[in-house]
Each structure stands twice: as C-alpha cells, then as structure tokens.
Chains A and B, each alone.
Chain A
Amino acid sequence: MTAPTPLADATHAKGAEIIVLEGVDKYFGDFQALRDINMRVGRQEVVVVIGPSGGGKSTLIRCINRLEKHDRGRIVIDGIELTDDIKNIQEVRRETGMVFQQFNLFPHVTVLENVTLAPRQVRRMPKKDAEELAMAMLRRVKIPEQARKHPGQLSGGQQQRVAIARALAMQPKILLFDEPTSALDPEMIKEVLDVMEELAASGITMIVVTHEMGFARAVADRVVFMADGEIVEVGTPEHFFRSPEEARTKQFLAQIL
C-alpha cells in the first residue's frame, strides 16, 4: 500500500525523479514477494531500505536492475521502462551499479582487471583509459596499492571496496547496495560504510538495503521500512527513528535498537 507520508510519493526536493515503481508485484511460485509497490526516488537521493528478513527488500532492488523480473506494474529507470526489450534492459544495467552481499568479485583476474572489465567490454573504453579510470576509482575507495593482487588475497572489507570501485567504474547514475556489510567481520564494516558515506555526500543516487541503523541515521535522505512484501512506512531518519507511526515499524525497531 502507498505509505501515508507525502514524502514516499512525491519527489525529493533535491532533484527530479530518476526511479519510478508503480503497482509492482512479484511472485516466486505461489509466494508473493512484492505487493503493490509504489515508490519514487529522486536524483541524488539516498534511500535506505530496512526491514525483517524475507520482507522483500532484496527482491525490490534486484527488480530495479532486472536480476529479477517483476510480474505486474511498471518500473522506469531514468526514463527507460523495464520490459522484455533487451535493449532497455542493457541500458538500465549500464546506468545502475550493484554491490552484493557476497562481493561476487571475479577470482580468476586481478583487482585492476575486475574494475576495468566492464568499461572495456561494455563501454568499449580503450585499455589505457580504462586502467586510469580504474586506478582513480581504487584511490577513491582507498586501496590503490592492491591493484595487481587477486581478490582471494584481500580481506573481506577490501574486497567489498573493490566491488564498489568496480560498480563506480561504469559511472552509473544509480548505485544499488544489497546488504553490503552483512557478510563482513565487525572490524571491517566501518571502512566500507565510510566509503559509502563519502559516496552519498558526493551526490550519487543510492538505494541501500542494510541493517546498519547508524548509517541510515547519518546519511539517508529517506528511510523505507518493508515487511511482508509491502512498503509499510516511509520517512526521514529523524521522523523514522524518533516517532514511527505504524505498529509493525515500532515492533521491528524495538527488536533491533
């Protein structure tokens, strides 16, 4: 159901709409993972999605870059509608970047090659330019010295930062994060969150699914609470954490805070 607060439906003050979801449903067999999702995200907005496991958060962002196919409704990314048209799907994937919980780096090539692969293959960038871009991205995530190593030789936190650099190298308009710190040891979570905070400050549109409430409080423009496949409540961090309205929201926050 559409959330009661006006911020869920209207565009954010910072910019124009870049992601539109209207009436989106998604089924896995008989199980309904997404129920009538309506959401709009504006440019340069940082949206943090929280909620219990199995609530549909991951499914939601995986529908945005078509790793999952939605069964009903419309999804429009930067003016391109996600349909069965291959051209549209490829365009959307070029404009969105994703960071996974399990990093999913390519183990058989070096860190540098991980980051340059997509720019060279998809955007047809010459090798030298791609490597310069990759090194710039690696500097941005603060691990340029690891460029020649293989992912298996890096720590979890370092691998995730490489994954972020890899996504950034495609210069996407939107960055999607699927529980980026859930697979990390506690002492490495901070380094990744720091990078993500810096990215948010730099003005890129971000949708982050996470359990890190500190991050949400510090960086989010809006917090979205999802449970049982629907958006239950939406609000600014201040509103959300201080005075949630829905019963389910209160229950969830009580369990984790």
Chain B
Amino acid sequence: MTSVDLEPTDAGRHIPAKSPARWVRRNLFRTWYDSSITIGFGVLFAWVLVGIVRFLLTADYTILRRNLALFMLGSFPRDQLHRPAAALLMIALATGLAAGALTAHRREIAAVTGVGYQSSRVIDVVRRFWPVVLLVVVLLALTETITPSLIVVGALGLGLIGVWAGRRIRARFRRLAWAALLVLPFLVYFMLAGFGGVGWRGWGGLHLNLFVTVAGVLLAFPLGLVLALGRKSSLPAVRTLSVAYIEFVRGVPLITLLLMGVFAIGFFLPAGVRPGTVTRVLIAITVFESAYIAEVVRGGLQAVPKGQVEAAQALGMTPWSIMRRIVLPQALRATIPAMVGQFISLFKDTTLVGVVGLPEVLSVAQDVNTQPDFVAQGLERLTLPFAALIFWVGSYTMSREARRLERKLGVGER
C-alpha cells in the first residue's frame, strides 16, 4: 500500500529522481494502489479547480466593489476617511522603523558573536509575505477610485523610509523605540477618534475585528500575567482562586461570555452604569483571553529552570527582584510564539461578535446579501469566500511568522 514516509521532516520533500519522468513514476505511480489514488485525486482536483476558476471569472463582483468600505471600515463616515488613511500611514512608518531597528540590532549581535547575518532583500520579503501581497492586490482591484492605491503606495514608501531610518537609530535609543511600539495602538486610536473623530462605537468591518483583537490582548495581558503568577504561587488560597478562574473561563465557550456581557453584565454593575455594546464585548473578551494568556505565560514560567531562581536567591536577591530581572525576561521571551498563536486565535474568534450585533467582517459579508440590489442571488458564495480570504491571509501569515520566530528563538541565544 502507499507507504507512510516518516523520515523526512519537511512535508513535501519527496523521493528525488533524476528526471521528471522518473519523478512522476516514483511519487505518483509506485504501485497500482498509488496510481489509482493519483488518478482519483487528479480528477477531483481538476474538477474542483475548473469549477472555481469558472466561477471566479464569470461572477459579478459589484456586490464587493460597492461595499468594500463597509467590509473594511464599517459605517465610517465618508468625510472622515482621511483618518484611517493617516492611521495606516503611521502604522507603516512605525513598522518600518521597528524592522530597521531589529535589523541593526541583529547585525550588531552578529558582529560580536561572529555568527553570520544577511539582510534580506526586498524580493525575499515579498516572497515571504505573498498572501498579504495577494490580498492587497485583490482589494485594490475591487476599489473604484485611485485613492486607495495611492495610499497603499504611500504606505509602502513610508515603510521603506522607516526601515532606512530604523537602521540608523543608535543602540541607546533602541529600547525607547520598542516602548514606542507599545504606544502605537493608542496613537492610532487618537488618530481615529480624537478631535471630533469616530469613537469605537462607530467602528465596523475588518477594522473592528482588528481593534477588538488588539485591545483584547492588550487588556487581557496584565490580568493573565497576574493569574499565571497566582497559579504558581506557594500560597494555597491564591493558587485556588487563580485555578478556579482559569478553569471556569476555559471551560465555557466564548459565545456564552459574550452573551453574558451583552445581556447580563448591566445587572452586575451599579445601577445607572450602562456601557455600550462594544465596551461590553471588550469586557467579555478580556475575561476570556486572560485565562488563555495565563496558561501561555504559565508555560513560559515553567520553561525557566529552577536553578536560576536558586542562584538568584543564593545571591541574596529579593523575590520581586528575582521575578523582574531573572524569571520574567526569560519566561516572556519563551512565550512569544504561543502568544502569537493566541493572538491569531482571538482574531478568528472576533467573528463571534457579529452574533451579538456588532458589524464585524463576517456579519457584513452576510448582511450585504440583504441589500435590495443583491437579495436572493446566492451571492453568499462570493462574499463569504471574500471574508474567508481576509481571515485566511491574516491567520496563515501570522502563524508562519510565529513558526519562524519559534525556530529562531529555539536555536539562537538571543
């Protein structure tokens, strides 16, 4: 029967052969069983591929074109669109700066340790992020004016400038640069909401999904850290409380917490406090994420060898100092891949907020089909895959980067 090849660790490394014909024979037609599978799958693939291509070529994309702003930004007022544009440019610049500073940092380390370092060329970066490039191209193809394309080009330009500038930041200021990155979400928020802008009650579309994800992780992280430390505490009462919280929240589906937040949280608060829906959703998501982040941090804490703590104790350091300088730096670095995984998970879970009434991307994809021009035409077959593309690109890219990071962190010292 088709054998299971357990030795190669990269999926896809198959039996090498001297010529294409031999390769085909070895990998596709080794035995009669093999051949029948090849033929079966081949036919299936061809049929599906032809069907999809035919659909894509003949579909009417008007529903997407006309509602693109709805998908991306919800009902953001047309006259305020310069705000998201400015925010995008700001993010591009900041990302460029961060990437540049990271490159310079890595180069310095390589100089000291003697390990080689090669900077990546633009073409390599493009190849690495091809899903994002694909998505941007698709989105721009659906736009009806030239402005979005100009903004994207502007963002790219600013990003490159940022990389150039980031490489030149002196080492002393680099710590500041990383701290600035944390301030970025707040800056973006002010850009969008400050001075008569649109607060988060008016946000929708992909923008809302991203906001809920970032805000959720930022708010949940401190709480999750406290819970993780509580779970490892030697004081039984503290440990029990932490475990109870974590196991309770992890045992229920997110939707129940969202329902609780939207329908019931008003009752738990003092009379007269009536938070808006987005606030309620944020509270529910913070509670939810904090339990999962607590588990991620716990994993990181466990990765720090006990001997480290003992050595620090033997040196006379206080428990607080030990935690701050020895345990947490190592623990948190160890959690980065898992934290990215949690971020991706939350990003996908933001689709649930559509169920409780917020206009996030998936619910937009469903609602546009009720518009009078598009009713009952089965256009869900177009809008839902479009929403799926957005999520797929985000999730796939982030998990690939997380895996790269994991490999880098595992091998190197820094």
Q: Which of A104, A107, A149 contacts B310 (CB 8 A)?
A: A104
Complex CA distance for A149 and B112, rounded to whole angstroms: 8
Chain B proximity of A17: nearest CB distance (Å): 22
Is A98 located at the chain interface by the 8 A CB criterion?
yes
Q: Which residues of A (70-126) have their CB < 8 Å from a CB of B?
A: 90, 93-94, 96-98, 100, 102, 104-108, 117-118, 121-122
Q: Which of B307, B329, B413, B414 contacts A104 (CB 8 A)?
A: B307
B308 touches A106 (CB 8 A): yes
Is A203 close to B, CB under 8 A? no
Q: Determine the distance from Cα of A94 to Cα of B121 in the docked complex, in whole angstroms.
A: 52
User: Taking each of A105, A106, A148, which has the highest tally of chain B beta carbons within 10 Å of its own beta carbon?
Assistant: A106
Chain B residues positioned under 8 Å from A121 (CB to CB): 317, 321, 325
In contact, A67 and B315 (Cβ under 8 angstroms): no
Can you list 30 A-B contacts with CB-CB less than 8 angstroms, sorted by A residue number? A65-B313, A65-B314, A67-B310, A67-B313, A67-B314, A90-B316, A90-B318, A93-B315, A100-B307, A100-B310, A100-B311, A104-B305, A104-B307, A104-B310, A105-B311, A106-B330, A107-B413, A108-B329, A117-B315, A117-B317, A118-B312, A118-B315, A122-B321, A148-B112, A149-B113, A150-B113, A166-B311, A167-B315, A170-B315, A170-B316
Determine if A153 is an interface residue (Cβ-Cβ < 8 Å).
Answer: yes
Q: Is the pair B325, A117 in contact by a Cβ cutoff of 8 Å?
A: yes
A90→B314 CA distance, assembly (Å): 9
A152 at the interface (CB under 8 A from B): yes
Q: What size tier do the contact residues of chain B reach?
A: 20 to 34
Decide: A104 and B316 in contact? CB cutoff 8 A. Answer: no
Determine how close the nearest CB of chain B comes to the CB of A91; give it in whole angstroms: 8
From B305, B307, B325, B413, A150 is in contact (CB under 8 Å) with B413
Which A-chain residue is minimally distant from B112 (CB atoms)? A148
Give the residue of B308, B314, B325, B413 whose beta carbon is less than 8 angstroms from that of A98: B314
Tell me if B326 is interfacial: C-beta within 8 Å of chain A: yes
Q: Count CB-based A-B contacts (< 8 Å).
A: 72
Contact with A along B276-320 (1 / 0, CB 8 A): 000000000000000000000000000001011011111111100
Chain A nearest CB from B336 CB (Å) reads: 13
Q: Name the CB-closest residue of B to A151.
A: B413
CA separation between A65 and B315, bound complex, in Å?
10
Q: Are B311's CB and A98's CB within 8 A?
A: yes
Of residues 158 to 182 in A, which have CB atoms within 8 Å of B's CB atoms?
Answer: 163, 166-167, 170, 176
B333 / chain A contacts, CB cutoff of 8 Å: 108
Complex interface: chain B residues within 8 A of A108 (CB): 329-330, 333
Those of A34-85 within 8 Å (CB) of chain B = 65, 67
Residues in chain B near residue A104, CB distance under 8 A = 305, 307-308, 310-311
Are B316's CB and A93's CB within 8 A?
Answer: yes
Closest to B309 in A: A104
Residues of A within 8 Å of B330, CB to CB, are: 106-108
Residues of B within 8 A of A149 (CB): 112-113
Contacts of A118 in B (CB 8 A): 312, 315-317
Fill in one digit per residue for B315-355: 1 if any A CB lies within 8 Å of its CB, else 0: 11110010001100110010000000000000000000000
- Report B-chain residues with C-beta under 8 Å of the C-beta of A148: 112
Min CB–CB distance B383 → chain A (angstroms): 48
Q: Which residues of B, 373-413, contact A by the 8 Å Cβ criterion?
A: 413
Closest to A166 in B: B315
Minimum CB–CB distance for B192 against chain A, Å = 37
- Binary B-proximity of A144-157 (CB < 8 A = 1, otherwise 0): 00001110110000
Chain B residues within 8 Å of A176, by CB:
314
